[in-house]
Structure 1
Amino acid sequence: MVANNLLIRNANVLDVVEGSYTQADIRIDDGMITEVGSSLGAAESAREIDAGGKFVLPGLIDAHVHVTAATADLGSLSSWSPSYVAFQAGRLMGDMLDRGFTTVRDASGADFGLHDAQAEGLVRGPRLFFCGKALSQTGGHGDSRARGTALFDSHQCCAGLGRIADGVDAVRAATRDELRKGAHHIKVMASGGVASPTDRIDSTQYSLDELHAIVEEAEAANRYVTAHAYTAKAINRSLEAGIRGIEHGNLLDDETVSLFRKHDAFLVPTLVTYWSLQEEGREFGLGQSNWEKVATVLDAGRRGLELAVRGGVNIVYGSDLLGGMQRHQAREFQIRAEVQPTIDVIRSATVTAAKLLQREGELGVVAPGAHGDLLILDADPVDDISILAESRIGTVVQAGRVVLEK
């Protein structure tokens, strides 16, 4: 039997764009959806599944993960054996797949090795889009050194999440280097953060000349740049520099919303990570001084999301969890649904995320020409988002293969 030929009959298929269901069969040939309609015939040797009227969604997309972050003590990663980190990443990726995330975008840490291993079936996990290492200025959010540490090793085999590059020439070279290694996007640290030891959350990082240079190099390679940014000032200068995605964005303002719309840019809130860091961060390796930063952005995140929703910003699903807290990945659905309509939360993890990834029509939809990534659920998640938030998923299909069946 060819493992990625599949026919699903009698499915209640969610059109995430329209927000409505249609009774249909779904045919997948060689891992791709070829037909969605009534009374379809199966390809020879295809497996058949009778959905019996159950609810079928596209596979989910999490656009902000760190598959190598097996601890919240990010500064310690660079001292770990790369092979040990790879095994940890494989475990974390397998867990993500079991939650229904058939595609993820890694926001620094993963490399071409993990991407290739997943694509070749050596690692069980979501399809992986990666940026390699995030670009950081000295003393920025990607600089994991304590104040008394002088050297920083950004060798590709070290398991850290960032690399330091200062000055226009240096950031051009660093961007080109990550693109050389196959990066699907470039990540830049444009403000301070919670997990970094020496910067303030309200700092802006990188000059405008440096940001413009990074964007220019990425666009020359037909790739895009996404930025870690919390404050309105940091976000606004990033958007004006041509950066396409903003990670977190907790402290955005009305001007920020206008800039998102002007540039058709994307916001990737990660509210669940602040909740989990406050509740469990120290247990999983987050230092006390870093833990104390969490309160600054925790409450602001919900207010920022509310402002973005009212302003019609492109909003994408992200979790950004670290270490053992990654088990809360799907809880972001529940948090978002307190602000957004449920169908919009689902769109953020499907069709809108696919647009950010530059994979419209290929991911996030159940339609001919898309990858055969599907979830089969016993209940309607549009009516009850806890179905997704609690990962109550009966069957997960990835590229036409049944990878989870309960």
Structure 2
Amino acid sequence: MTPQQPPASILIENVRVFDSLRSGLTPLTSVRIEGRRVAAIGGGAPGARTTVIDGGGRVLMPGLTDAHVHLFAVGTSLAGLTTGPTGTGYYNALAEAERMLMRGFTTVRDMAGDVASLRQVLDAGTFPGPRIYPSQAAISQTSGHGDFSDVHESASTFSCGAHSRAEQIGFLRVADGRDQVLAAVREQLKRGASQIKVMAGGGVASPYDPLDVLQYTPDELSAAVEAAADWGTYVSAHVYNDEGIRRAVAAGIRSIEHGHLAAGPGTLELMADEGVWLSTQPFVESDHELTNPENAAKNAQMCAGVADTFGWAREAGTKIAFGTDLLLEPEKAGLQNEMLTRLSTRFEFPPAEALSIATSGNAALFRLSGERDPYKAARLGEITVDAWADVLLVEGDPTKDLTVLGDPEKNLVVIIKDGRIHKNTLG
């Protein structure tokens, strides 16, 4: 692959900057981009090879980030992934990556799916799309949230058991016992994972596990943490229920995915004390259409806990990351922006605080990947000198009204990622 080169220089003039590190906007200023990074804020005249954009007093902000996506699954239905040709998921992921970028999301953390190769072609500029932090296959115990084998089939841990389609396409990996968990973690790291995801409790869409069940023993979870730490990175855990959260924290898990069924503020205080992230989603029931009554009931139970979890986390000072977790319903992929606006409209975050969570806040979580961080050469999620040049020019003021980001086609007038202009309606 031959990387495409960004413009030599971009000067964005006459803008108010939300750098994501402060709650307010700067006075009118300019931002210069050289190559792939922010070179200067304020001052300077355009050079001979400079692309000049007059911001017209609009707000310039960092590109949005999403801490929980499934690029391999968001553009394809369950039937498409499980019964269709293998290539369908990859091509749909490529198409969805461009749509995600055009919604303003310039960096995402992928929490299950074979996307390491997709990251490479996007980073090379061969196709448009966000930066990706891949987890590769999510790791699950037998009968856990990642076990989608048929109930009559022998467990794959036995020599007579077959791997499910979800395992065959690299979306999930079933592993039981310390040795298998060690091997499964190392397998994902070999395949390009920047962090690891394990299933530590029951799930909504999975067939065998009620939300209250615990998944993986403390020793198995510790094994995953040890193997990831040997590669300089961390483990995140899918888990809703309170005891599962506490077990994951005790094992050294650094990021709790979901956490909507925490039993009370004490669990969020524990997470805050241990520096563990709550990577959660502002779900409402209609986000997922589940025809099976048992799955629908689990979805309702989970969504009922969203507001309490957000409230307890804010009171405890728990580090909050924003994600969407949309998958297997391609027609709903566009909810990504609406879910962001809910942080303010439904769950009472001040707009500027919500913006910081979805930019520099998420970026701080991403940096836990340490030596496995594919973008560690510069800062993400902020507009500061030498940061990656991922910026959005917005019609309206999202620090006062987050809903302007709910209509990216209309209100994102310029989208720049990695120093490349992907959208410019200003001419």
TM bracket, shorter-chain basis: over 0.9
Inter-partner Cα distance in structure 1 for 2:47 and 2:166: 44
Superimposed CA distance per residue, residues 65-102 of structure 1 (whole angstroms, 9 cap, x where no aligned partner): 00111468647624432321111111211111111000
Q: 1:273·1:319 contact (CA, 8 Å) conserved in 2? A: no
Counterpart residue identity of residue 144, structure 1: F
2:274 match: 263
The structure-2 alpha-carbon separation of the partners of 1:75 and 1:165, relative to structure 1 and needing over 3 Å to count, comes to: farther
1:25 match: 30
Inter-partner Cα distance in structure 1 for 2:8 and 2:313: 39
Inter-partner Cα distance in structure 2 for 1:234 and 1:254: 15
Q: 1:62·1:104 contact (CA, 8 Å) conserved in 2? A: yes
Q: How does 1:221-260 map to 2 (within 5 A)?
A: 221-252=231-262, 253-260=264-271
Q: 2:139·2:198 contact (CA, 8 Å) conserved in 1? A: yes
Q: Does 1:6 align with 2:10?
A: yes
1:135 match: 139
The structure-2 alpha-carbon separation of the partners of 1:242 and 1:274, relative to structure 1 and needing over 3 Å to count, comes to: farther
Gaps of 5+ in 1: none
TM-score after normalising by structure 1:
0.93
Q: How does 1:82-161 map to 2 (within 5 A)?
A: 82-150=86-154, 151-153=161-163, 158-159=168-169, 161=171
Q: Does 1:185 align with 2:188?
A: no
Q: 1:33·1:366 contact (CA, 8 Å) conserved in 2? A: yes
Which of the residues 62, 71, 76 maps onto 2:66? 62
Which of the residues 358, 372, 376 maps onto 1:349? 358
Q: Does 1:204 align with 2:214?
A: yes
TM-score after normalising by structure 2:
0.88
The structure-2 alpha-carbon separation of the partners of 1:261 and 1:157, relative to structure 1 and needing over 3 Å to count, comes to: closer
Which of the residues 184, 205, 213 maps onto 1:195? 205
Moved more, 208-217 or 152-161: 152-161
Q: Does 1:369 align with 2:386?
A: yes
Q: 1:70·1:85 contact (CA, 8 Å) conserved in 2? A: no
2:335 match: 328
Which of the residues 299, 307, 330 maps onto 2:304? 299
2:313 match: 308
Q: 1:4·1:401 contact (CA, 8 Å) conserved in 2? A: no
2:55 match: 51
Counterpart residue identity of residue 174, structure 2: I
SS in 2 for 1:144: coil
Moved more, 147-156 or 392-401: 147-156
Q: 2:185·2:224 contact (CA, 8 Å) conserved in 1? A: yes
SS in 1 for 2:206: coil
Q: Does 1:40 align with 2:50?
A: no
Inter-partner Cα distance in structure 1 for 2:80 and 2:142: 18
SS in 1 for 2:67: strand
Inter-partner Cα distance in structure 2 for 1:132 and 1:84: 17
Inter-partner Cα distance in structure 1 for 2:89 and 2:167: 10
Superimposed CA distance per residue, residues 111-155 of structure 1 (whole angstroms, 9 cap, x where no aligned partner): 321111211223321111101000000010011123134454368
Superimposed CA distance per residue, residues 238-279 of structure 1 (whole angstroms, 9 cap, x where no aligned partner): 1111111111110122221122111211111112364411xx
Q: 1:14·1:20 contact (CA, 8 Å) conserved in 2? A: yes
Inter-partner Cα distance in structure 1 for 2:421 and 2:80: 37
The structure-2 alpha-carbon separation of the partners of 1:264 and 1:404, relative to structure 1 and needing over 3 Å to count, comes to: same
Question: RMSD over aligned Cα, in angstroms?
Answer: 2.1
The structure-2 alpha-carbon separation of the partners of 1:43 and 1:109, relative to structure 1 and needing over 3 Å to count, comes to: farther
The structure-2 alpha-carbon separation of the partners of 1:15 and 1:261, relative to structure 1 and needing over 3 Å to count, comes to: same
